[in-house]
Structure formats: C-alpha cells, structure tokens
C-alpha cells in the first residue's frame, strides 16, 4: 500500500486580500472573499460612509493608505468608480506601488483588463470581475451574490483563476471578451437603469391620473411583462403599438404630454423602437405600421 499523495485534494491557495475603495461593491466583494477563506488584510476608505461600511462588513480590517494596502496584499481589489479607475492605476504604477506576481482585480463593468496595463507592465496579474447585481453595501448582498452572474475578463492564462475566484464568492462566471466590455456594460445599464426610470415615470403618470398606490397596478403587470420578454423576446410584445392602434397611441401621446413633456418624449421614442421590432417580428402588419409611424413622426413635427 502506497502512501497517500499529500497534494491530492489539497485546498486551493489562500490569498491575502486588500480592498481599495470600500464602497458598495468593494466592501461586499471583500467580505465574500473573506467568507471563502481569503483573509482581508487591509483596506482603504475615503468617506465616513465607506469607513462605516468597512467596519460592518470587514470587521477588524485596518484602514490604511492605498500604498500600504498594495504592499500587504496578494490580491488587490480596485473597487472605485469607472471613471476614476484609469487614473488610479496609472498613478499607482508611476510610484511603483504594485509588485510582480500580485493579482490586481477591479469590479468595473465598463473596463476589461486593459485598463490595468500600467500595473501589468510591472508584473501584476490582471482580472476584471464585474458582479451583475445592484448592491446595497450591506450584509444582505452576500446572499445576493449566490448564483449572481459575474462578467469575467482576463488574459487567457488567467481565466481559470478569475473564474475560480468568482465561484468562491458564490457567483456564476460569464466570459466577456476584452473588446466587448463597453457594449456588455452598455447593454446592462440600458436595461437595468432605464427600467428604473421607466417604472418611476409609470408610477408618476398613474399618480397624476388619480390612482392611489399605483405600485399595486404596476408590480404584477411589469413583472409578467419582464418574465414574458425573457422567455419569448419580441414575441411577447402586446398592446396598442404591437397591434398598430394608431388612434390609441395618438391619445396616449396627447394625455402624457399634458402631464409630463419628458415622459411624452420617452413614450414616443420607445413606441417607435417597439414598432420597428414588432414589424420585424411579424407582430405588426405593414399597413398598420404606416399609420402608427405617421402618428409618431407627427409628434416630432409638433415639437418643432
């Protein structure tokens, strides 16, 4: 009988983690890595809110200057706003704050690993790990990370590491090519952020119509619409635009315009896109589409 191989089934290596920016994402991702067994050894926080968040989610972790975070960590999370990230990386590289063999990750949706090039040239290992989730910066987010998709981008040789870290945090890695990061992020922002605006405008219009507790009407309707859209795509389109009811759409435009010119503009723009998609999907017939588009084009002319 041979001795067991001591390396068989060995646990993956644990990395000391540093968090630069304990905002909603940074503190939560740091806590998720700590939960997976990667000790968070240092963090940097700017605002009082960030400091309180760090105390709650990263208890006992010292808050130190950025250069000290980098000096202490095997894996650095640069969790700062998208527009801040390039300048931060460049500045830290200029002061030789990174060290060779160090993993440097960010959680930006917009950027891939190219934004980390100044650090990569100093021998670091770049990772882009973007959680596709609205985060609150509280412990509730740790449960939300379970099964949460992460947009992952990294050099090919680092892909297994990037995906393993996401899995350890409870997430589901989804590969995004470096050159597609901007479009990937734009698509997510277009859907999630504009959905909030659409829902808020809908609630405002119903309130203006005298409806009490408008969310009672909107919640089941929009939940069903979202579910249908995810399952069926354009085939889920219903309503006056998909049917080509030009008179109804014209009445909608007039009524909304009397209450909110901004909502009127949004309605017309979305109705035109919806008509185009319904026409392409065969839901809207060409004859009906012509009358409908005449109404929508006419609203643009009225504004001029």
DSSP 283-304: SS-HHHHHHHHHHHHHHHHHH-
Residues 134 and 210 in one domain: no
Between 7-11, 39-43, 181-185, 268-272, the lowest mean confidence (pLDDT) is in: 7-11
Residues 101 and 141 in one domain: yes
Residue 281 lies in a domain: yes
Residues 165 and 234 in one domain: no
Average confidence (pLDDT) over 34-60: 96
58 is written with which tokens? 């990263």
In contact, 43 and 66? CB cutoff 8 Å: no
Mean predicted lDDT score pLDDT of the chain: 93
| Measured distance CA(107)–CA(99) in Å, rounded | 20
Residues 36 and 139 in one domain: yes
Catalogue the E-assigned strands of 36-191.
40-44, 75-78, 103-106, 125-131, 149-153, 172-175
What pLDDT does residue 118 have?
98
Residues 244 and 149 in one domain: no
Query: Domain with 111 in it: what CATH number?
Result: 3.40.50.720
What pLDDT does residue 12 have?
67
What pLDDT does residue 299 have?
59
What pLDDT does residue 119 have?
98
In contact, 237 and 200? CB cutoff 8 Å: no
Residues 165 and 49 in one domain: yes
pLDDT-derived band at 185 (thresholds 50, 70, 90) equals very high
Residues 97 and 163 in one domain: yes
Q: How, if at all, do strands 103-106 and 149-153 pair?
A: unpaired
Inform me whether the pLDDT recorded for 115 exceeds 60: yes
The reported pTM is 0.87
Catalogue the E-assigned strands of 132-270.
149-153, 172-175
Inform me whether the pLDDT recorded for 33 exceeds 80: yes
Q: Residue 18: in which H helix or E strand, if any?
A: strand 17-20
| Measured distance CA(44)–CA(22) in Å, rounded | 7
In contact, 128 and 95? CB cutoff 8 Å: no
Q: What is the pLDDT of residues 133-178, one digit of tens each?
A: 989 999 999 999 999 999 999 999 999 999 999 999 999 999 999 9
Q: What is the pLDDT of residues 74-83, one digit of tens each?
A: 999 999 999 9
| Measured distance CA(299)–CA(304) in Å, rounded | 9
61: domain range? 17-176
Inform me whether the pLDDT recorded for 37 exceeds 80: yes
């Amino acid at each position: 009988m041979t001795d067991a191989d001591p390396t068989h089934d060995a646990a993956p290596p644990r990395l000391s983690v540093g968090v630069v920016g304990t905002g909603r994402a940074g503190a939560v991702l740091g806590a998720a890595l700590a939960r997976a067994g990667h000790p968070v050894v240092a963090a940097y926080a700017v605002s009082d809110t960030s400091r309180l968040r760090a105390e709650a989610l990263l208890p006992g972790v010292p808050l130190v200057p950025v250069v000290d975070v980098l000096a202490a960590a095997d894996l650095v999370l640069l969790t700062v706003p998208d527009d801040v990230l390039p300048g931060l990386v460049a500045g830290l590289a200029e002061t030789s704050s990174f060290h060779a063999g160090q993993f440097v990750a960010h959680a930006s949706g917009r950027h891939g690993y190219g934004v980390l090039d100044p650090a990569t040239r100093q021998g670091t290992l770049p990772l882009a790990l973007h959680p596709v989730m609205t985060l609150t910066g509280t412990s509730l987010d740790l449960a939300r990370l379970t099964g949460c998709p992460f947009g992952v981008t990294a050099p090919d040789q680092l892909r297994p590491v990037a995906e393993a870290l996401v899995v350890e945090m409870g997430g589901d890695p989804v590969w995004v090519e470096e050159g597609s990061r901007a479009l990937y992020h734009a698509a997510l922002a277009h859907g999630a952020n504009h959905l909030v605006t659409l829902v808020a405008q809908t609630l405002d219009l119903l309130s203006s119509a005298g409806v009490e507790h408008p969310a009672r009407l909107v919640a089941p309707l929009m939940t069903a619409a979202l579910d249908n859209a995810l399952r069926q795509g354009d085939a889920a389109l219903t309503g006056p635009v998909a049917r080509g009811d030009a008179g109804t759409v014209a009445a909608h435009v007039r009524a909304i315009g009397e209450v909110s010119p901004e909502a009127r503009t949004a309605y017309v723009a979305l109705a035109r896109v919806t008509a185009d998609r319904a026409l392409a999907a065969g839901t809207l017939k060409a004859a009906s589409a012509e009358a409908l588009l005449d109404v929508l084009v006419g609203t643009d002319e009225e504004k001029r």
